[in-house]
């Protein structure tokens, strides 16, 4: 069967996506303890799993209660400095006073990442560290079945009342005698969520029929998400919280009788980062205050504290003894012995801890890895064929030689499967799949293996034949090729270091800068040296230089280029007219470099330098609202001018109206202001405006799709098709403009500007082939992923994009919108690549196929290597904070790339039909 390289690449990528999914499922196992082992009884709350052997509690009777009533006030995203810092002093006077007076114990609690509400509630109630998979299921929380505080309280006959985030109600569906849940997913609601909780407070505090009251306030978290921790809205919210704490505390004190004191617990489930989001492990997100306020603390002091004091004293004595000069043999030996014991204990502890915390489903991971690596190998082996002129190759579907191998492999794998699954003591996802699916996966693996073997055999066969075309062996590598290869390999290798993952944006910025300089050198050579350097390319002297010196050469030529541009006026007039385009084209890489530098300082991302001030923060701070409005307006105008060139009239108008709608949406939710609007207009959710824009997005995309279909059905000229593609592209640009935060709109502008300039002045004149252009697009796409403020941490995902124009949380659109907003950079560059390549079809009929193949290859190389690296580093210290978020990002990127490649293939298909019809 003959396959075109586009079809081949997309099917490979789909298989790879399957492998990635399997690997992820194995890597992030659903915590085994959460699997319900017993059916929940209908009338009472589900009982947690019984503790395993060896964990039987040695309490023989229930200890006497220490407190009569307990109120837990959980303030979402309460950072430690909101209570203990300057903000606390300013806005929470009552709490500060209580803390300083000393009827309380105050701590700074450390929240283990992922700092997301649902896992944090689980952690607070069960005392266990959350599994990483909990982030993913955060939005859809099943009932908690582990041993937990609430369940224990319930079985001890305590009456529990809960008001607040309805995550609790989902986790503990039958535990509360009374509850009122508020949905937490509408992020732009600051007051109503809290009023829903507070309105019950007065009546409840008067009543006597409860023992445990839990209040979960969400407003602060919403303020953080929308406006950040330094927003003026935070102060009043903290004051409101302070008043509530005061009310609760006073009422508790007044109820207190001689018998037992009451307890008020104030805590945050997680903090917030400097941008106001959470999920990662930065200082601000991890540290939350934890306050225990009770009159009981005045009377007695904690025995643990006394023990610590005693221990400290004895340690001091030992040191004193040592300092007095008692350095005899005994002391020395004792010290050595203690050190040794300490070290051994530490070693055993850490190893057992890491084994306990990280339980991997190795079998599923191995199967996933095997599939991913096989696909990568297959892609790599088919590079020469896929990038040939015809972009087609023979896929051996039923070669008789390999049928035996195929069946043997299937049998062997099935045997392995049976052995592993019967002997495995832990839960395994791949084993729990149905037999049919498992056998299907086995057959897939064997088929891929046979494909690889046959490809290798074919290559060996070709080697044995005399070389027919000496042109291939003769062609030397240009600097661009060397850079592309070195950059790809270097980036993949850098994924093994946690710092390079944290600062991956630096890698991409560095690479695209170098790429621009090399392009500049290429342009200079094209413009200045065409006459001089055409003959005698082949002496051995220069070839080595090319491989090592791409950067240096171009830098050195830049010097004359820059000085020549000043002398440009002096050149003769006839040359000048011809040359005006030339100078613009020479200046293009420099303009792109400057754009990239500006974008780099727009959003500081990563970890090490993330705290540096950047333009983004400057613009979003509330004093600079008018500057932000101006910038947003100019950006939207620029977007219109850059996009409208190739659109039809109808979509031009739609685009203009849509961009207006974007601005009025941002004005409605209070990010930007209209020039005529001075007073503080009330902030709405902007649903009408956002839906207005959605209508135009859909309209433009629909027009584009109609054109594409027309070009397929009626064998129209290629202009219809390219207009259609461009319209789809511009619809996506409009959607991105709606979803991007207003300070990120310049990213979109520069994206369009760079694409336009590159197309006009670099790619077309320099006549790169499709593969090179694809890889450049991929690089720029990656760089723009980071330019828009993303990083490899979970915290930078802008979830507010998922709520634009939605009244309440609707799962599928929210996921789609968030994914689009996050991956807008790579996605827009990929679609632009398709636009560009399909306009290049006249020059190279296989361009789209080549592009699709290269794009798939560029994605599958890092994923395959990274999967292997992560498997090797699974007991690394940073596995959960650095490597696994990156793994999630890579996985999602593979799915998106697979979708893009399918789109590519569809476009390619159309083209071939046209050819057939002609």
| Given 254, 328, 540, 573, the residue binding another protein (CB under 8 A) | 540
| Given 408, 427, 497, 698, the residue binding another protein (CB under 8 A) | 497
Question: For residue 760, what is the DSSP state?
Answer: I
Taken in order 133, 135, 136, 137, the sign of the CA dihedral is positive
Shortest CB 230 distance to another protein, Å: 22
Segment contacting another protein by CB under 8 A, of 531-539, 624-632, 699-707, 867-875: 531-539
The Cα 884–Cα 866 span in angstroms is 11
The Cα 219–Cα 215 span in angstroms is 12
Taken in order 627, 629, 630, 634, the sign of the CA dihedral is positive
Comparing CA positions, the residue from 152, 199, 285, 248 lying closest to residue 607 is 285
- Identify residues 2-41 at the interface with another protein (CB under 8 A): none
Tell me whether residue 708 or residue 869 sits nearer to another protein (CB atom): 869
CB 830, CB 900: distance < 8 Å: yes
Residue 540 neighbours by CB distance under 10 Å: 6
Tell me whether residue 471 or residue 541 sits nearer to another protein (CB atom): 541
Tell me whether residue 326 or residue 563 sits nearer to another protein (CB atom): 563
The Cα 741–Cα 822 span in angstroms is 11
Decide: is 525 part of the binding site for another protein (CB under 8 A): yes
Shortest CB 556 distance to another protein, Å: 5
Half-sphere exposure of 293 (CA within 13 A, CB side): 25
The Cα 448–Cα 451 span in angstroms is 5
Shortest CB 557 distance to another protein, Å: 6
Decide: is 90 part of the binding site for another protein (CB under 8 A): no
Segment contacting another protein by CB under 8 A, of 312-320, 556-564, 690-698, 805-813: 556-564
Query: Alpha carbon of 838 to those of 389, 720, 807: distances in Å?
Result: 16, 11, 39
The Cα 565–Cα 576 span in angstroms is 11
| Given 226, 557, 856, 857, the residue binding another protein (CB under 8 A) | 557
Segment contacting another protein by CB under 8 A, of 62-70, 357-365, 542-550, 815-823: 542-550
Tell the residue number behind the tokens 């082939």, with chain if given.
Answer: 769
- Identify residues 567-606 at the interface with another protein (CB under 8 A): 593-594, 596-597, 600-601, 606
The site for another protein, by CB under 8 A, has a size of 47
Shortest CB 793 distance to another protein, Å: 15
Tell me whether residue 138 or residue 547 sits nearer to another protein (CB atom): 547
| Secondary structure in 3-state letters for 118-157 | HHHHHHHHHCCCCCCHHHHHHHCCCCCCCCCHHHHHHHCC
CB 856, CB 904: distance < 8 Å: no
Shortest CB 890 distance to another protein, Å: 19
Tell me whether residue 561 or residue 776 sits nearer to another protein (CB atom): 561
- Identify residues 599-658 at the interface with another protein (CB under 8 A): 600-601, 606, 608
Decide: is 786 part of the binding site for another protein (CB under 8 A): no
Q: In this structure, what token pair is assigned to residue 429?
A: 């996802």
Tell me whether residue 62 or residue 541 sits nearer to another protein (CB atom): 541
Shortest CB 663 distance to another protein, Å: 31
Decide: is 545 part of the binding site for another protein (CB under 8 A): yes
- Residue 178: is the preceding peptide bond cis (ω within 30°)? no
Decide: is 739 part of the binding site for another protein (CB under 8 A): no
Shortest CB 283 distance to another protein, Å: 15
Tell the residue number behind the tokens 């699916």, with chain if given.
Answer: 437
| Given 67, 528, 583, 809, the residue binding another protein (CB under 8 A) | 528
| Given 536, 573, 574, 842, the residue binding another protein (CB under 8 A) | 536
Decide: is 295 part of the binding site for another protein (CB under 8 A): no
Return the beta strands (E) in 294-446 as ranges. 392-394
| Given 103, 198, 354, 514, the residue binding another protein (CB under 8 A) | 514
Shortest CB 527 distance to another protein, Å: 11
The Cα 628–Cα 112 span in angstroms is 36
The Cα 47–Cα 61 span in angstroms is 20
Tell me whether residue 269 or residue 553 sits nearer to another protein (CB atom): 553
Residue 324 neighbours by CB distance under 10 Å: 8
- Residue 114: is the preceding peptide bond cis (ω within 30°)? yes
CB 74, CB 215: distance < 8 Å: yes
| Given 67, 186, 500, 809, the residue binding another protein (CB under 8 A) | 500
Going residue by residue from 213 to 252, which x/- string records binding to another protein, judged by CB under 8 A? Answer: ----------------------------------------
Q: In this structure, what token pair is assigned to residue 20?
A: 């990635």
Shortest CB 615 distance to another protein, Å: 12
Q: In this structure, what token pair is assigned to residue 839?
A: 């306009």
Segment contacting another protein by CB under 8 A, of 194-202, 300-308, 407-415, 530-538: 530-538
DSSP three-state, residue 527: helix
Decide: is 526 part of the binding site for another protein (CB under 8 A): no
Tell me whether residue 593 or residue 638 sits nearer to another protein (CB atom): 593
Shortest CB 506 distance to another protein, Å: 5
The Cα 867–Cα 862 span in angstroms is 8
Segment contacting another protein by CB under 8 A, of 266-274, 549-557, 703-711, 850-858: 549-557
| Antiparallel, parallel or unpaired: β 160-165 and 212-217 | parallel
CB 640, CB 749: distance < 8 Å: no
Tell me whether residue 582 or residue 911 sits nearer to another protein (CB atom): 582
Going residue by residue from 447 to 486, which x/- string records binding to another protein, judged by CB under 8 A? Answer: ----------------------------------------
Segment contacting another protein by CB under 8 A, of 36-44, 368-376, 445-453, 502-510: 502-510
Tell the residue number behind the tokens 């270091």, with chain if given.
Answer: 497
Decide: is 522 part of the binding site for another protein (CB under 8 A): no
Tell me whether residue 465 or residue 541 sits nearer to another protein (CB atom): 541
Tell me whether residue 594 or residue 653 sits nearer to another protein (CB atom): 594
Tell the residue number behind the tokens 């508790």, with chain if given.
Answer: 252
Helix and strand numbers, DSSP H then E, in the chain: 40, 9
- Identify residues 821-840 at the interface with another protein (CB under 8 A): none
The Cα 47–Cα 41 span in angstroms is 8
CB 911, CB 841: distance < 8 Å: yes
Shortest CB 768 distance to another protein, Å: 19
Decide: is 880 part of the binding site for another protein (CB under 8 A): no
| Given 341, 350, 556, 565, the residue binding another protein (CB under 8 A) | 556
Shortest CB 551 distance to another protein, Å: 5
| Given 539, 572, 573, 808, the residue binding another protein (CB under 8 A) | 539
Shortest CB 638 distance to another protein, Å: 22
Residue 818 neighbours by CB distance under 10 Å: 19
CB burial readout 584-600, b (16+ within 10 A) else e: ebbbbbbebeebbeebb
The Cα 743–Cα 619 span in angstroms is 7
DSSP three-state, residue 273: coil
Segment contacting another protein by CB under 8 A, of 157-165, 443-451, 523-531, 772-780: 523-531
CB 452, CB 15: distance < 8 Å: no
Interacting residues with another protein (CB under 8 A): 497-500, 502-503, 506, 509-510, 513-514, 517, 525, 528-529, 532-533, 536-537, 539-542, 545-546, 548-549, 551-553, 555-560, 562-564, 593-594, 596-597, 600-601, 606, 608
């Amino acid at each position: 069967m003959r396959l075109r390289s586009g079809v081949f690449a997309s099917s490979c990528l789909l298989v790879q996506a399957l492998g990635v999914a399997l690997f992820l499922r194995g890597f992030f196992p659903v915590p085994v303890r959460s699997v319900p082992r017993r059916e929940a009884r209908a009338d009472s709350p589900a009982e947690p799993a019984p503790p395993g052997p060896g964990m039987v509690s040695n309490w023989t009777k229930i200890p006497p209660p220490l407190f009569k009533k307990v109120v837990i006030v959980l303030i979402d995203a309460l950072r430690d400095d909101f209570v203990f810092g300057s903000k606390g002093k300013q806005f929470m006077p009552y709490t500060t006073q209580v803390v300083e007076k000393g009827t309380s114990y105050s701590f700074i609690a450390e929240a283990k990442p992922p700092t997301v509400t649902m896992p944090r509630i689980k952690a607070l109630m069960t005392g266990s560290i959350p599994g990483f998979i909990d982030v993913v299921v955060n939005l859809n929380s099943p009932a908690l079945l582990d041993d937990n505080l609430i369940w224990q309280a319930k079985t001890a006959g305590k009456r529990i009342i809960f008001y607040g985030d309805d995550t609790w109600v989902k986790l503990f569906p039958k535990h509360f005698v009374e509850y009122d849940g508020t949905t937490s997913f509408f992020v732009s609601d600051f007051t109503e969520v809290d009023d829903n909780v507070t309105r019950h407070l007065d009546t409840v505090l008067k009543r006597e029929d409860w023992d445990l009251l839990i209040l979960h306030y969400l407003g602060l978290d919403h303020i953080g998400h929308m406006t950040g921790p330094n927003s003026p809205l935070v102060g009043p919210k903290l004051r409101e919280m302070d008043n509530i704490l005061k009310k609760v505390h006073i009422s508790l004190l007044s109820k207190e009788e001689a018998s037992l004191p009451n307890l008020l617990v104030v805590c945050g489930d997680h903090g917030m980062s400097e941008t106001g989001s959470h999920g990662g492990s930065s200082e601000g997100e991890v540290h939350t205050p934890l306050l225990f306020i009770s009159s009981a603390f005045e009377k007695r002091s904690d025995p643990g504290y006394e023990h610590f004091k005693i221990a400290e004293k004895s340690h001091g004595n030992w040191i004193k003894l040592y300092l007095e000069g008692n350095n005899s043999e005994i002391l020395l030996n004792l010290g050595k012995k203690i050190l040794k014991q300490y070290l051994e204990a530490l070693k055993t502890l850490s190893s057992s801890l890491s084994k306990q915390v990280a339980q991997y489903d190795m079998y599923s991971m191995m199967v996933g890895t095997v599939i991913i690596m096989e696909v990568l190998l297959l892609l790599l082996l088919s590079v020469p064929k896929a990038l040939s002129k015809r972009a087609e190759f023979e896929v051996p579907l039923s070669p008789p030689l390999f049928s035996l191998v195929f069946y043997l492999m299937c049998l062997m794998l099935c045997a392995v499967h049976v052995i592993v699954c019967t002997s495995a003591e832990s839960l395994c996802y791949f084993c729990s799949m149905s037999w049919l699916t498992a056998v299907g996966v086995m057959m897939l693996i064997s088929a891929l293996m046979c494909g690889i073997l046959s490809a290798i055999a074919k290559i060996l066969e070709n080697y044995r034949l005399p070389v027919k075309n000496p042109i291939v062996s003769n062609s030397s590598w240009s600097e661009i090729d060397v850079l592309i290869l070195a950059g790809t390999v270097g980036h993949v290798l850098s994924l093994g270091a946690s710092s390079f993952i944290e600062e991956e944006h630096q890698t991409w910025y560095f690479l695209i800068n170098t790429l621009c300089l090399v392009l500049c050198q290429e342009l200079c050579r094209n413009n200045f040296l065409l006459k001089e350097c055409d003959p005698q390319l082949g002496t051995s002297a220069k070839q080595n230089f090319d491989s090592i010196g791409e950067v240096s050469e171009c830098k050195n030529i830049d010097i004359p280029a820059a000085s020549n541009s000043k002398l440009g006026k002096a050149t003769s007039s006839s040359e000048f007219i011809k040359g005006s385009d030339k100078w613009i084209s020479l200046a293009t890489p420099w303009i792109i470099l400057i754009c990239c530098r500006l974008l780099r300082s727009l959003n500081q991302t990563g970890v090490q330098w993330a705290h540096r001030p950047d333009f983004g923060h400057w613009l979003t701070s509330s004093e600079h609202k008018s500057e932000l409005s101006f910038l947003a307006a100019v950006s939207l105008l620029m977007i219109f001018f850059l996009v409208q060139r190739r659109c039809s009239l109808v979509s031009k108008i739609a685009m203009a109206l849509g961009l207006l709608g974007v601005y009025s949406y941002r004005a409605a939710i209070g990010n930007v202001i209209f020039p005529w609007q001075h007073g503080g207009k009330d902030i709405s959710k902007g649903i009408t405006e956002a839906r207005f824009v959605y209508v135009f997005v859909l309209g433009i995309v629909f027009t584009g799709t109609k054109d594409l279909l027309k070009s397929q059905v009626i064998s129209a000229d290629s202009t219809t098709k390219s207009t259609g593609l461009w319209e789809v592209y511009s619809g996506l640009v409009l959607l991105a403009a709606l979803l991007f935060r207003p300070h990120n709109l310049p990213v979109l502008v520069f994206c369009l500007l760079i694409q336009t300039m590159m197309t006009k002045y670099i790619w077309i004149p320099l006549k790169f082939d499709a593969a090179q252009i694809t890889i450049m697009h991929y690089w720029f796409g990656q760089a723009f992923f980071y330019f828009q403020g993303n990083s490899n941490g979970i915290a930078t995902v802008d979830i507010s994009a998922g709520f634009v124009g939605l009244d309440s949380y609707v799962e599928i659109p929210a996921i789609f919108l968030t994914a689009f907003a996050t991956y807008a950079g790579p996605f827009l560059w990929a679609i632009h690549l398709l636009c560009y390549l399909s306009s290049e079809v006249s020059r190279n009929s296989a361009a789209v196929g080549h592009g699709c193949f290269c794009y798939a290859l560029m994605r599958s190389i890092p994923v395959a290597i990274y999967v292997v690296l992560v498997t090797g580093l699974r007991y690394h210290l940073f596995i959960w904070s650095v490597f696994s978020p990156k793994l999630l990002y890579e996985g999602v990127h593979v799915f998106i790339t697979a979708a893009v490649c399918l789109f590519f293939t569809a476009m390619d298909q159309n083209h071939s039909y046209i050819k057939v019809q002609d």
